[in-house]
A = this chain, B = another copy of it.
Amino acid sequence: MSASEPKKQRTNPQYELLYHPGIPGRGEHIRLAFEAAGVSYKDTANENLPNDKGLNGYREVLAVCDAKSTGDKDGNPPVFAPPALRIPGAKKDGGTLLIHQTPNILLYLGPELGLVPEDEAERLYVNQLTLTALDVSNEAHDTHHPVAVMQYYEDQKDEALKKATDFRETRIPKFFSYFERVLKGNESAGQGRYLVSDKLTYADLVWWQVVDGLKFAFPKEMEARSKEFPLIYTKFYPGIKEEKGIKQYLASDRRPKYGMGIFRHYPELDRQ
């Protein structure tokens, strides 16, 4: 299957992910939700890659983030940054809905894709765990860009070393302890495989992607801590990998490789 072909026959609604081409990044959390649900989606910047290296698709992404936009003709506010999700016909008046912010997109998709429980309290837990996992992702990003997001890593290497050391020594254990305890508290329902209830939710997918990204970025650190968080390492992480939809996806060429995105492997920033 080439990357230009969608995974499945398109159905309505036509979900369209607008994100940077060629990297997992924050867009990956949206992809994983669709893939786990087995619901087709258009990944605009990536689907045109073989023909035009994503340029036409990426132009559409950049267009919705135009720094002069005050919103679109359907009454959607401007997009601050990708990822964004576009769904024709999803507004009350039949217009196209265009939203951004990863946790906001997932909040919308959760019920649509069957990736949240029915219970309102449990949906709030899913949202709060997603937000917390994304905080880890932001901090991981800041390890290589602690001073200026638009400048090169090479221009902030000294600061990056300090930030990464703190992240590895202080923040990883704090966040991993938290998610280990969430799994433990939900063990009778979730068997260590799910954070909330006895079924897969998008919070699981987000936290899994963060753990996976950290394994790429800090392989030595993550290996050294493998005994500290047994549920995460032996139940949760391998369990999500085997979920229907996810297993297929990870083996496909739709799964982007890590590179110069949020999770980067600079050996000097890893445990020595």
On A, residues with C-beta under 8 Å from B are 67-71, 75-78, 80, 90-92, 97, 99-101, 103-104, 107-108, 119-121, 124-125, 127-129, 131-132, 138, 142, 146-151, 156, 159, 162-163, 166, 170-171, 174-175, 177-178, 181-182, 184-186, 195-196
Report if A182-B146 is in contact (Cβ < 8 Å); known contacts: A101-B132, A121-B92: no
Interchain Cβ contacts under 8 Å between A and B, 7 examples:
A77-B182, A77-B195, A97-B121, A101-B128, A107-B124, A150-B170, A159-B162
A195 to chain B, nearest CB (A): 8
A177–B127 Cα distance when bound, in Å, is 28
User: Within the assembled complex, what's the spacing in Å between the Cα atoms of A148 and B142?
Assistant: 11
When distances are taken between beta carbons in the complex, the residues of chain B under 8 Å from A178 are 78, 80
Contact for A128 among B99, B120, B159, CB less than 8 A: B99
Of all chain B residues, the one with the shortest Cβ separation from A108 is B124
Contacts of A80 in B (CB 8 A): 132, 175, 178
Tell whether, in the assembled complex, residue B147 and residue A162 are in contact, meaning their CB atoms are under 8 Å apart.
Answer: yes
Chain B residues with Cβ under 8 A from A100's Cβ?
Answer: 128
| A77: contacting residue among B91, B146, B196, CB under 8 A | B196
A-B contact sample (11 more), CB < 8 A, given A71-B186, A97-B121, A99-B128: A67-B174, A67-B177, A70-B185, A71-B182, A77-B129, A77-B185, A78-B181, A99-B124, A99-B125, A142-B142, A147-B166
**Which residues of B sit under 8 angstroms from A195, Cβ to Cβ?**
77
- Closest residue of chain B to A189, judged by CB? B75
Cross-chain contact A163 with B146 (CB below 8 angstroms): yes
Asked if A78 contacts B185 (CB within 8 A), the reply is yes
Residues of B close to A163: CB separation below 8 A: 146-148
Which of B125, B162, B174 is in CB contact (< 8 Å) with A148? B162
- List residues of chain B with CB within 8 A of the CB of A171: 149
Whether the Cβ atoms of A181 and B69 lie closer than 8 Å is: yes
A146 CB contact (under 8 Å) in B97, B147, B184? B147
* Nearest neighbor of A148 in chain B, beta-carbon distance: B166
| Contact (A119, B146) CB under 8 Å given A77-B125, A101-B131, A186-B77 | no
A76/B125 in contact, CB under 8 A: yes
Q: Which residues of B contact A68 (CB under 8 A)?
A: 181
Docked complex Cα distance between A166 and B149 (Å): 8
For the complex formed, measure the closest distance between the CB of A63 and the CB atoms of chain B, giving whole angstroms. Answer: 15
* A84 shortest CB reach to chain B, Å: 9
A137 to B69, CA, bound (A): 23
